[in-house]
Amino acid sequence: MGDIRRLGVIINGATGRMGTTQHMAHLLAIAAEGGLPLANGDRLIPELMLVGRDAGRLAALAAQHGNPSWTTSLEEALAGPDQVFMDCAATGDRPRRVRQAIAAGKHIHIEKPTAPTVEEAMELARLAERAGVKHGVIQDKLFLPGYAKLLAASRSGFFGRILSVRIDAGSWIFDGSEQECQRPSWNYKKAQGGGLALDMMAHWRYMIDRLVAPVTGVCALMSTAIPERVDEAGQRYTVDAEDTNYALLKMRGGAVGMINNSWAARPRRDDTMVVQIDGTGGSAVAGRFRCYTQSAAETPEAFIKAARPGGVDLMADWKEVPEQPGKPPFRQCWELFLRHVAEDAPYLPTLVEGAKAVQLADLAYRSVAEQRWMTVPELKL
């Protein structure tokens, strides 16, 4: 029998959606199962310190989850012995909080986007590296069953030479006047870290880099479809961040990417987030849960048939990739990071990877401002 080891994790933003439903939930589940088994037979039990701004909500949240410690003072939490800092509070001002945590010697595991600009994101990566702490960003999407299958298809060489990747993502986000808005109002305020491109390029970058090839160029077009919204308190406010982002991408090796991402569109497809890869050897289309493939040998004639009355059933000649058992995505992110801290296991999405994601958003904004293609330079520590 190995030893029981305890690891204190500060969850800043515990009362938020991600804080409660993902980070707390999965760490508590690991603890409830008796800890994460490590290679040497020890078990690692995460112990939570919840941080937020509202004492009443924190106390209620703690009471519902076995009474972990909590505080409304980030300074107090950082002065304590807990070793890991997770920031899943609203995006705005994240770099300041991360700098504080690095200065306090904590290992850093944070939500995306890590910073509003690539310069700040790289500064955080360098600070963490220099301080000798472990660091990582949440990159959960490739652990979703549909995209995990897509990644497996890509790694197996199924696509042959990849020609293009197309991302269709988004759904209608109500403006809050008639029907409750499904996203926090800070998402629509630049100063608080809002903006669809900053939010979602953070995912598209690592997904495309790993599913296809590293992104080398971007040309974007953005807009604000709904200029006025109603916030959580029922107050009208002016939106100053984009809610729609179109982007063309170039990838190393010559593949082309297309991103069509909007919070003001009504999808008629399998999922609100669909990724299609076309290659000489075959194509695949994946949502969060399902993935369908069509190989070159199974590709039907559609051009001539589609022009006849009755058309053609374009959905018919696709094969669904069978289910693979897997743990929930955020659980996988945490297990990998906990192993990284506890036994120095590798962790791919460091703050440098986090900065690459911010870089794509940053360059997309500059592309819009300057109305031109932007080259994506390599980032180095």
Ligand X SMILES: NC(=O)c1ccc[n+]([C@@H]2O[C@H](COP(=O)([O-])OP(=O)(O)OC[C@H]3O[C@@H](n4cnc5c(N)ncnc54)[C@H](O)[C@@H]3O)[C@@H](O)[C@H]2O)c1
CA distance 137 to 349: 6
DSSP 1: -
Collapsed DSSP state (helix, strand, coil) of residue 276? strand
Figure out which of the listed residues 82, 120, 140, 353 binds ligand X, where binding follows CB under 6 A.
140
CA distance 32 to 125: 32
| CB-CB contact of 285 with 276 (8 Å) | yes
Smallest gap from Cβ 89 to ligand X, in A, equals 3
Which stretch, 28-36, 63-71, 84-92, 338-346, contacts ligand X (CB under 6 A)? 84-92
> Residue 89, interface with ligand X (CB under 6 A)?
yes
> Residue 13, interface with ligand X (CB under 6 A)?
yes
Which residues contact residue 59 at a Cβ distance below 8 angstroms, ignoring those fewer than 6 apart? 70
Smallest gap from Cβ 19 to ligand X, in A, equals 6
Closer residue to ligand X (CB): 114 or 283: 114
Figure out which of the listed residues 8, 62, 72, 93 binds ligand X, where binding follows CB under 6 A.
93
Site mask for ligand X (CB under 6 A), range 289-328, x = bound: ----------------------------------------
DSSP 301: P
Please count the CA atoms within 13 angstroms of the CA of 169 that sit on its side-chain side: 25
Closer residue to ligand X (CB): 140 or 362: 140
Q: How many CB atoms lie within 10 A of CB 29?
A: 14
Cα three-residue angle 119-368-91, rounded to 5 degrees: 45
Figure out which of the listed residues 31, 82, 85, 91 binds ligand X, where binding follows CB under 6 A.
91
Closer residue to ligand X (CB): 69 or 216: 69
Could you tell me which residues are beta bridge partners of residue 219? 248
Cα Rg for the chain, rounded, in angstroms?
A: 22
CA distance 127 to 99: 8
- Provide the H-helix boundaries in 297-345: 329-343
CA distance 187 to 91: 9
Closer residue to ligand X (CB): 42 or 93: 93
Which stretch, 16-24, 61-69, 156-164, 239-247, contacts ligand X (CB under 6 A)? 16-24
Smallest gap from Cβ 202 to ligand X, in A, equals 7
Residues that contact ligand X, how many (by CB under 6 A): 20
Smallest gap from Cβ 26 to ligand X, in A, equals 12
> Residue 48, interface with ligand X (CB under 6 A)?
no
Which stretch, 15-23, 101-109, 285-293, 299-307, contacts ligand X (CB under 6 A)? 15-23
Smallest gap from Cβ 300 to ligand X, in A, equals 36
> Residue 17, interface with ligand X (CB under 6 A)?
yes
CA distance 318 to 298: 8
Backbone CA torsion sign across 341, 377, 192, 123: positive
- Token digits for 173? 């986000």
> Residue 185, interface with ligand X (CB under 6 A)?
no
Pairing of strands 256-262, 162-170: parallel
Figure out which of the listed residues 2, 32, 33, 53 binds ligand X, where binding follows CB under 6 A.
53
Closer residue to ligand X (CB): 140 or 175: 140
| CB-CB contact of 171 with 267 (8 Å) | yes
DSSP 115: -
Figure out which of the listed residues 9, 11, 16, 376 binds ligand X, where binding follows CB under 6 A.
16
> Residue 86, interface with ligand X (CB under 6 A)?
no
> Residue 242, interface with ligand X (CB under 6 A)?
no
Closer residue to ligand X (CB): 184 or 328: 184
Closer residue to ligand X (CB): 199 or 353: 199
Query: Residue 170 is inside which H or E element, if any?
Result: strand 162-170
Taking Cα atoms as reference points, which of 144, 170, 162 lies closest to residue 223?
A: 170
Taking Cα atoms as reference points, which of 94, 80, 121 lies closest to residue 18?
A: 94
Smallest gap from Cβ 93 to ligand X, in A, equals 5
* Interface residue list for ligand X (CB under 6 A): 13, 15-19, 52-53, 88-93, 111-112, 138, 140, 184, 199
